[in-house]
Amino acid sequence: MAREEIAMMQDNIFLKIIERKIPARIVYEDDHCLAFHDINPQAPVHVLIIPKKVIPTHADITEADKELLGHLHWVAAQLARQLGLEKGYRLVLNCREQAGQSVPHLHLHLLGGRQMHWPPG
C-alpha cells in the first residue's frame, strides 16, 4: 500500500468522528461500531454505520471481518426499529469512487422515512 493511501486512511473524517475530534449526532455506539446522522441527508432518516476498524472499501474485507459485517447489519436493523422505519428502509454500501464512496472507510447508509425508488441511480 502506498504511503499516501496509508496517510489518507489514518486521517479520514470517520476516524475523526470516532475519536471525537469532529462532532456528530451519534445514535449508537459499541466496541465495534458507531452510527450517526449524515450531515448531508438523502432521506428524512439517513444514518451512517461505521466500523471502528478501518476497512477502506468493501473490496478490502477479509474472512476475519465476517463477524463485524454481520454486526453492522444487526445494528442497522436495531436502528431501523428505533428510528421508526417500520414501513421500510434501504441499506446502501458503496464500494470505491465510481460507486459513490467518498470516504475511504467502509460504511453502511441506513435510509428511510420516504418512498424509495428503483433503480437508485
State the DSSP code for 59: G
State what percent of residues in the chain have pLDDT above 70.
91
pLDDT of residue 44 exceeding 80, the answer is: yes
pLDDT band at 1; cut points 50, 70, 90: very low
32, 107, 109, 117: the active-site residue: 107
Identify how many contiguous H helices and E strands the chain contains and give both numbers.
Answer: 3, 5
Q: In the block, which residue shows the cell 453492522?
A: 72
Whether 107 is catalytic: yes
pLDDT of residue 5 exceeding 90, the answer is: no
How far is Cα 43 from Cα 114, in angstroms, rounded to an integer? 7
pTM score, two decimals?
0.90
pLDDT of residue 11 exceeding 70, the answer is: yes
Rounded to an integer, the average pLDDT of 67-77 is 98
Neighbours of 64 (CB within 10 A): 8
Rounded to an integer, the average pLDDT of 47-64 is 97
